[in-house]
Structure 1
Amino acid sequence: MPLYGYLYGMYAFGLEETNLYDSAEKTARMSLDINRHDAWATHAMAHVFEMGGRQDEGLQFMSATENDWNVCGMIACHDYWHYALYSVEKGNYSDAVGLYDTQVGPLAAKSGAMLDMVDACSLLYRLQLEGVNVGDRYKDIQDVCKQHLDDHVLAFNDAHFMMSCIGAGDKVSTGKLLESMRSFVKNGKGYNCDVTTEVGLALCEALVSYDNGDFAKAVDLVSPVRYQVIKIGGSHAQRDIFNQFVIHCAMKSDTEEHKKLARQLLVERKCLKENSPLTDRLMAKAMVQHTG
């Protein structure tokens, strides 16, 4: 039946997001056997490798199939984002920056599509959390993001817009986004207004507090809502940036209770994703803090 393989690709992603990773991989491969150019099935495979801590397999797969999926304009940037995440996880930051410079950044700046924009913001922010100096790379992305500060379509988008404002050092846009979100919470209605009230605003305020060096305040803002972040949307892999964020907040806080929370969250992350060099690096730092 024509186009039937695409159903497998879509089904595979649903299976992955419900943690049925073996079934997701099997179904995605069925799709790719029918049509190797199905970039959504490739996307499902990328998620399976990410969530399973199979970074080397992910790198090999994305490299070997790149010419099959990079022609799909709708999701090519996102698949490159996944490709870069494996390198961030492994600590190969130059490879991740290279993919940003040659693919994610240019594709996002050209398309202006929301998925591409949040991918660019997310990759840069993850690199920054890892201590990488990303220079002025936020500028082109923020030029697009600041056109959407009053949209409030998704709290997920707003959080990434905040990353771009902060990353670009644009205090005016940072303040504008916060005030716009507060006005939306006060005067808006609908599901996203509820989510912004319950989670989104606190998340963005925490991002600002972290940037200001008030790590304890950032923890106090984000910790109570950390298990509600799923409400803002995005996949498990996309929302992992917020798991990483609260861990960094807690590790940098001067409050001993927060440092203990960081260790607890790292153990939790290790249980969910056993093979995670990123988690291992953070755990090593946390243990130095604990015993130092």
Structure 2
Amino acid sequence: MRPVRCMMQSSLRDMTRACDKWEAIKQEHPTDMLAIKMAHDTYFYLGLGAPMRDSIAGVFPAWKPSMPHYSYLYGMHSFGLVETNFYDQAEKAARKGLELNRRDAWSTHTMAHVLEMGGRQDEGIAFMSTTMMDWNTCGMLACHNYWHWAVYHIEKGEYTAALDIYDNECGVRSKGSGALLDIVDACSLLYRLNMEGVDVGSRWEDLYETCRPHADDHILVFNDLHVLMSCLGAKQDEAAKKLVNALKNFVSEHQGTQSDIAKKVGVAMCEAFLAYDEGDFAKAVDLLTPVRYQVVTIGGSNAQRDLFNLFLIHAAIKSSKKRHHQLARNLLLERKALKESAPMTDRLIAKAMAMHGD
């Protein structure tokens, strides 16, 4: 139990050192799945893709296919590969994991990322729908895999299909479980739909009630940002400002990994969302642009953090400043270069041109 207590005590103070301790344990005991998984997850919460990938690669030689949980190594390794842009290798590892255990929701999750990052939306929708019975009972990842499914539809502009997934799965699951993993997915979906101009009705009000108990958690900046989205979506302006002020107080009163991340990037991101909600799009751009390459430090996956890329693009398009319009064009060109088959990018390019010309 000693390593577990160490991790819990270090979670807010020094998550990097906690990873070092898990690494030391698994180097001595490379088949200790608890140490492997804890290191993997904590790297994920810090946005450290390369260590997440390498941490699994280093233990493979100690494992034999006959050992319990062997197949799950492929799911974890594949996710580290996809987060460091080795998409072909990630797909190969994920398919191997599913070959060994078709119910490995983490390998399914990697496949969802591979198909998302490759612009293979139709293939992604087909994959999720045909494998659903294999992963939809996995409490920790089912909601998130449904989130991926909905994101394919949002990319294609199929908003009704995305809302159906929200109503039948993500919204229901987040309310039923109360798990922050599920809650952030629900917030992310509704905010993405709002940026696309979709009226989500009273869904924000319901989701806000699920989020409200976590407004003072400040466990992860990533979570704080999504809870803030629920406040803004539900028009709970005072709650939104209170959350941001509480985060500022957290920075001034605490030391450790998350307070450092909040100080360097989290507060600015939260203030950008407040500014956007108030219609001050130029301020939102000016707050977020200087830290956009530091957003990775809040954790989550590339696909999850893409919400913040989209947010900056929308803010830049709507800004009253001409230099922000040029920024929007540059950001869209960058996005197009990374994923050519991206209907959402094409829609945003057309929107920017219609509003501001060539």
TM-score bracket, shorter-length normalisation: over 0.9
- 1:141 Cα deviation after fit: 2.0
**Amino acid in the other structure paired with 1:278:** M
**Amino acid in the other structure paired with 2:169:** Q
Matched, 1:119 2:185: yes
Matched, 1:166 2:232: yes
CA distance in 2, matches of 1:288, 1:140: 35
* 1:224-263 equivalences in 2 (<5 Å): 224-263=290-329
CA distance in 2, matches of 1:202, 1:291: 30
- 1:3 Cα deviation after fit: 2.7
**Match of residue 276, structure 2, among 210, 225, 232:** 210
The residue aligned with 2:210 is 144
Structure 1 range deviating more: 230-239 or 186-195: 186-195
For the pair shown, the structure with the greater C-alpha radius of gyration is 2
Q: String of CA shifts for 1:196-230, please: whole Å, max 9, x gaps.
A: 01111111111111111111111111111111100
* 1:81-100 equivalences in 2 (<5 Å): 81-100=147-166
The residue aligned with 2:334 is 268
CA distance in 2, matches of 1:76, 1:185: 33
The residue aligned with 1:53 is 119
- 1:232 Cα deviation after fit: 0.6
The residue aligned with 2:249 is 183
The residue aligned with 1:6 is 72
Q: String of CA shifts for 1:25-76, please: whole Å, max 9, x gaps.
A: 0111111111111111100100101111110110000011011110111110
- Are 2:174 and 2:210, in contact at CA under 8 Å, matched by a contact in 1? no
Q: String of CA shifts for 1:53-108, please: whole Å, max 9, x gaps.
A: 11011000001101111011111000000010000000000000000000000001
The residue aligned with 2:137 is 71
CA distance in 2, matches of 1:282, 1:291: 13
Tell me the number of residue pairs that the alignment of Structure 1 and Structure 2 aligns: 292
Q: Name the SS of the counterpart of 1:116 in structure 2.
A: helix
The residue aligned with 2:24 is none
TM-score (norm 2): 0.80
- Are 2:113 and 2:303, in contact at CA under 8 Å, matched by a contact in 1? yes
Task: Detail structure 1 runs of 4+ shifted over 4 Å in the superposition.
Answer: none
CA distance in 1, matches of 2:142, 2:320: 42
Q: Which ranges in structure 1 are unaligned for 5 or more consecutive residues?
A: none
The residue aligned with 1:198 is 264
Matched, 1:284 2:350: yes
CA distance in 2, matches of 1:13, 1:140: 32
- 1:172 Cα deviation after fit: 2.2
**Amino acid in the other structure paired with 2:336:** K
**Amino acid in the other structure paired with 2:194:** Q
CA distance in 2, matches of 1:273, 1:112: 34
**Amino acid in the other structure paired with 1:55:** Q
Structure 1 range deviating more: 119-128 or 280-289: 280-289
- 1:136 Cα deviation after fit: 1.2
Q: Name the SS of the counterpart of 1:274 in structure 2.
A: coil
- 1:274 Cα deviation after fit: 1.6
Structure 1 range deviating more: 6-15 or 229-238: 6-15
Q: Which ranges in structure 2 are unaligned for 5 or more consecutive residues?
A: 1-65
CA distance in 2, matches of 1:3, 1:204: 40
CA distance in 2, matches of 1:167, 1:183: 24
**Amino acid in the other structure paired with 1:259:** H
The residue aligned with 2:197 is 131
Q: Name the SS of the counterpart of 1:153 in structure 2.
A: coil
The residue aligned with 1:31 is 97
**Amino acid in the other structure paired with 2:213:** Q
Matched, 1:103 2:166: no
The residue aligned with 2:222 is 156
- Are 2:171 and 2:207, in contact at CA under 8 Å, matched by a contact in 1? yes
CA distance in 2, matches of 1:225, 1:65: 38
Q: Name the SS of the counterpart of 2:103 in structure 1.
A: coil
Once superposed, what is the RMSD of the aligned Cα atoms? Answer: 1.0
- 1:175 Cα deviation after fit: 1.6
**Amino acid in the other structure paired with 2:209:** D
The residue aligned with 1:15 is 81
The residue aligned with 2:63 is none
Q: Name the SS of the counterpart of 1:4 in structure 2.
A: coil
